[in-house]
Structure 1
Amino acid sequence: MLGYPTSGTKVAVWASKENILPSSFELVEKLSGKTVYTSTDIKFFGAYGPFTKTARLNFSGFKETGEFFIRANGILSPLIIIGNDVYKGAADFCLRYMRQQRSGFNPYLKDSCHTHDGYVLYGEKAGIKDSTHFNTSGGWHDASDYLQYSTTSANATYHLLMAYRDFPQVFGDEKQANGLDGKNGNADVLDEAKWGLDWLIKMHPKKNIMFNQLADDRDHIAMRIPKEDNQYGKGFERPLYFITGEPQQRGKFLNATNGTSSTAAKFSSAFNLGAVLFNNVDRAYAKQLAQKAKTAYHFALIKPGVTQTASVKSPYIYAEDNWVDDMELASVAQNFGKNKLNQKAIVNAFKYAEMEKITPWMQKDTAAHYQYYPFINLGHYELAKQSTKIDKQKIESYYKQGIEQVWSRAKDNAFYRGVPFIWCSNNLTVSFAIQCAWYRDLTGDESFSELEQANFDWLFGCNPWGTSMVYGLPDWGDTPKDPHSAFTHLKNYPIDGGLVDGPVYTNIYKGLIGITLANPDEYALFQSDLAVYHDDYGDYSTNEPTMDGTASLIYLLAAKEAAAQPKK
């Protein structure tokens, strides 16, 4: 666990394979070995996953700082740290992974890759011949593979911009814009967001041209360090998929694209927020972003609907199936930085908000891969802040309804787990924790604070496997050591700060193609018919780090660090 602020919610989970439950527990100071707190504040639960008996041990009433262990029935917990600086630097730590994911010039490798990108496919609608070259070098690799998606990159960029906007005080300046050591007068998170914005500009070079992805799953030929790839049949160039608003097929797989909105709206939102934040840094750049935001919004309206990614060799794509949440955010983002709000933009945003009040995965036990993306309705939060009291309350109620849907599943197990174990479940967990925090901040309602903290704690070790899901964080804890990553597997390069996919339903895991564990499963005792997680590079479903999930986590960690500091 990362730890707890002194005044925060603090709950540990007891889990046993035997029919045993504690009647009380105590906190033991690490340094002195003395018992400093005793409690019977225990909530009992039944079986969960591999465990027969479970319970929640609440020590929120303990307000002292220091390092402690929980002792219950003679068993000691892992180290628990309490203090208002427990989250300090965590968001900046995760920025290391974002820099390491850079395409073009990579500051971690101090080398360049993918400098010849790319050649156009499906560009006929804009009068572009197939194989025409556009300079789209840059951006971030998607995960441990090296293809690049506009939808995830735009969402990641927005989260980084939002983190700087909302919590500028938590970020440092230790890197130059190119990611190398040295201060440049800008917070490192803003530099990283600009890296994303620069690539989005390249992916939307003209008002009638926008690309949805760079490269495809032919990328997955083998693990390698990201030098220049030549498996696409055109030298070192990689394919650029033009957004047509219609299904696209390369090979035998056809996606279900039916519009231009989902990706283009994400572009527009990121550009509008970027324009505001860079206005006092680089006015010419801010003006360019503002113009790109307008053309991207118009592109989103060409054919209302969703744009999915394309695949060639495998059936796995980002099967995004919703788009009105993206249009809601893009509409309300038109008011960013304005003293007088554009009421038409707010009306449009409300229209879209009414079409999807609750992010659909929250109402379900399962979903397709990235079916409802992003995993949180960002537009609701921004719209609530621009709304009158009655309309604000309406939007807040949508967040509450979504939280209640998850809570209806979570309340019956000791981990308060209501997020489905679908692919990238950790990304959903981060997003859900953010939604709980936003609902609390907007309303002052603390009803879901323990649920919010449980989802945060899940990511850092309070889960059936007892492991953090973030590489190297905390440095004293059990964290991924053998992720599905070429950097670690081939070169033993640490991927500091990378959030891995997270556990999946066991039935999903058993149905995936090409998964073979390379080593004995160190978590074998904690696998179950419910869900599995493996710290093994052979498992791309649970242990592959993702760029967009990490960007969302950076926002969440920044929020936690800011909230932990006592108000002055």
Structure 2
Amino acid sequence: MAFTITMLSWSVLEYGHYMRMAGEYGHALQAIKWGTDYFIKAHPQPNILWGEVGDGGSDHYCWQRPEDMTTSRRAYHISESNPGSDLAGETAAAMAAASIVFRHSRPSYSKLLVAHAEQLFQFADTHRGRYDSSMKVARMYYASESGYNDELLWAAFWLYEATADERYINYAVDNAQNLGGTGWAMTEFSWDVKYAGLQVLATKILLQGRGSNAEVLKQYQSKAEFFMCACLQKNQDKNIGRTSGGLIYKRAWNNMQYVTSASFLMTVYSDYLSKSHQHLQCPTGQVGGNELLNMAKSQVDYILGNNPRGTSYMVGVGSNYPQKIHHRGASIVSYKVDSSFIACRMGYETWFSYGSADPNIHVGAVVGGPDENDNYADDRADFEQSEPATYNNAPLVGVLARMYGLSTTYRSQHSTPAASPLSRLYISHILTSSWNFEGRRYYRYEVNIKNNSPRMLQFLKLTVEGLKGPLWGLSKSGPATFAFPPWLKALAPQKSLVFVYIHQAPKATITVSTSVFD
């Protein structure tokens, strides 16, 4: 939630004038204040921050509307003896960024946010530790893989923006190396990994001629440029991947979060370069700021439907959008329509497996998105693809506001991504079940390959990377490669081949290496 509020605030700070033009500025501030009001309540003492309500295991055990929930929900906090520098640091960043948003419209509230942000930063820096070591219940669902160094720098930069206090920029300069700010060259920006974002923020300060020690800020800038060049695939062998349809692709679980966050950074960086009359220097040559903006725009176009499937991954937008998202409130009939109590497990029996479209359209929600082959399974059981998240939407708000300023629609005037030549094969790849056995968690995945072409598929070779267990339904043809099973010589048009695998790891990566049609 804190990352969501930070990104919403950054969006307003950069593109609030476009939001005013669209009549959405008030809604944006309302959303930010909803979050910061919550953070104020969650921070009752300087070194106490309540970070989680509920247990992921017991919460996921039930499928109910919020109105029907009776599950006991314990609250968890961090403190001096149980620190969480990453959680406190990100919350400090959120409150600092939001304080700038409210500086003129709510000056007293803005000062209150600054006070909380400064206390939280002091808490995070003085009592260091990962929040998921103190709140172990969070580790299963929101593990702090990157640690807390990035959040300390992220908070320092935002506090400098909020206060102009040189102590904070000096902190970011003095700790640039030992906290990784000038060391880590990143290919992702997310709620967990903030380095690319803080490096872009440092570059903004440098290009505006603010802050101390320009030499260190230039080192931050070099890492920001690494990220930008990687997004454009102009970084030699250190690029961010894309699907055949042109979508930034990082990993299977909720890939869209990486798309929207990268698009935001490309958008603001393009504007920073344009305003300072600078160019991006990539290993392959000099790049203009417009190329970054065009790349960001292509990602928005893809999200809103300009993709090989013609699917809008923002619910309620366009005529072809996800109908069965992994969301309790969307999938169960409204309390206003039927107030009958839905018990904990009853929701799974009645609504989770409900074959029809969601009774409630979750307008605006951005789901996890398609796989590496541009395929999407409209199945609420496939949470990796069909679950929406607030941190998917938050960075997109700023990008959409900027695009509104360009007076564009999702039908881009620029070149559109070419459809994948492998789109003749539709690949559905979903998690069907999971269970515990002898203290270990196992996952069963099912893959359906459908021949969408009018021709016979005579030969198929698949590459399966990251497979950690047995696979049924294919013949192994080499290291990490598989072919038709012995009982199948060819796949007729509109027919499907199904195989399954079980292992103790996230979804494997499946790609078509070779396909021969007759």
Aligned equivalent of 1:165: 13
Instruction: State yes or no: 1:556 paired with 2:399.
Output: yes
Superposed counterparts of 1:337-416, under 5 Å: 337-338=162-163, 341-354=164-177, 355-357=180-182, 362=187, 373-374=192-193, 377-387=196-206, 388=209, 391-406=216-231, 407=233, 408=237, 409=239, 414-416=244-246
Match of 2:126, SS state, is coil
Instruction: State yes or no: 1:293 paired with 2:117.
Output: yes
| Separation in 2, partners of 1:172, 1:307 | 37
Aligned equivalent of 2:63: 223
Native 8 Å contact 1:170 1:558 kept in 2: yes
| Separation in 2, partners of 1:383, 1:484 | 37
Could you tell me which of 71, 74, 78 is aligned with 1:243? 78
Superposed counterparts of 1:53-132, under 5 Å: none
Superposed counterparts of 1:436-451, under 5 Å: 436-444=266-274, 445=279, 446=288, 447-451=291-295
Superposed counterparts of 1:330-341, under 5 Å: 330-338=155-163, 341=164
Superposed counterparts of 1:269-280, under 5 Å: 269-280=93-104
Match of 1:541, SS state, is helix
What's the TM-score, normalizing by structure 2?
A: 0.61
Distance 1:187 1:315, change over 3 A: closer
Q: Using the TM superposition, give the Cα deviation of residue 161 of structure 1 relative to its aligned residue in structure 2, in angstroms.
A: 1.7
Could you tell me which of 328, 331, 355 is aligned with 2:153? 328
Distance 1:312 1:303, change over 3 A: closer
Native 8 Å contact 1:376 1:431 kept in 2: no
Distance 1:317 1:346, change over 3 A: closer
Distance 1:162 1:403, change over 3 A: closer
Instruction: State yes or no: 1:539 paired with 2:362.
Output: no
Cα deviation, 1:261-310, whole Å, max 9, x if unaligned, reads: 11111111222222233233233322221211111111111333432385
| Separation in 2, partners of 1:329, 1:502 | 28
Distance 1:415 1:305, change over 3 A: farther
Q: Using the TM superposition, give the Cα deviation of residue 386 of structure 1 relative to its aligned residue in structure 2, in angstroms.
A: 2.5
Superposed counterparts of 1:2-81, under 5 Å: none
Cα deviation, 1:106-135, whole Å, max 9, x if unaligned, reads: xxxxxxxxxxxxxxxxxxxxxxxxxxxxxx
Match of 1:299, SS state, is helix
Aligned equivalent of 2:438: none
Instruction: State yes or no: 1:454 paired with 2:302.
Output: no
Aligned equivalent of 2:127: 303
Match of 1:471, SS state, is coil
| Separation in 2, partners of 1:263, 1:556 | 26
Q: Using the TM superposition, give the Cα deviation of residue 498 of structure 1 relative to its aligned residue in structure 2, in angstroms.
A: 0.4
Structure 2 residue runs of 5 or longer lacking an equivalent are 280-287, 334-358, 409-518
Q: Using the TM superposition, give the Cα deviation of residue 228 of structure 1 relative to its aligned residue in structure 2, in angstroms.
A: 5.7
RMSD between aligned alpha carbons? 3.3
| Separation in 2, partners of 1:464, 1:322 | 37
Aligned equivalent of 1:155: 3
| Separation in 2, partners of 1:312, 1:296 | 22
Native 8 Å contact 1:399 1:435 kept in 2: no
Distance 1:286 1:487, change over 3 A: same
Native 8 Å contact 1:346 1:383 kept in 2: no
Instruction: State yes or no: 1:284 paired with 2:284.
Output: no
Distance 1:264 1:431, change over 3 A: same
Q: Number of matched residues? A: 354
Structure 1 residue runs of 5 or longer lacking an equivalent are 1-152, 176-182, 233-237, 248-258, 506-529
Native 8 Å contact 1:362 1:419 kept in 2: no
Cα deviation, 1:432-460, whole Å, max 9, x if unaligned, reads: 11222233222243254443333333322
AA in 1 matched with 2:383: Y
Higher helix share: 2
| Separation in 2, partners of 1:503, 1:420 | 11
Distance 1:397 1:471, change over 3 A: same
Distance 1:538 1:356, change over 3 A: same
Distance 1:279 1:405, change over 3 A: closer
| Separation in 1, partners of 2:174, 2:149 | 9
Q: Using the TM superposition, give the Cα deviation of residue 260 of structure 1 relative to its aligned residue in structure 2, in angstroms.
A: 2.1
| Separation in 2, partners of 1:302, 1:468 | 46
Q: Using the TM superposition, give the Cα deviation of residue 497 of structure 1 relative to its aligned residue in structure 2, in angstroms.
A: 0.4
Could you tell me which of 326, 331, 336 is aligned with 1:484? 326
Native 8 Å contact 2:257 2:392 kept in 1: yes
Cα deviation, 1:402-443, whole Å, max 9, x if unaligned, reads: 233342546886534553223121000111112222332222
Distance 1:382 1:403, change over 3 A: closer
Distance 1:311 1:538, change over 3 A: farther
Could you tell me which of 249, 269, 276 is aligned with 1:419? 249
With 406-415 and 192-201 compared, the bigger mean Cα shift is at 406-415
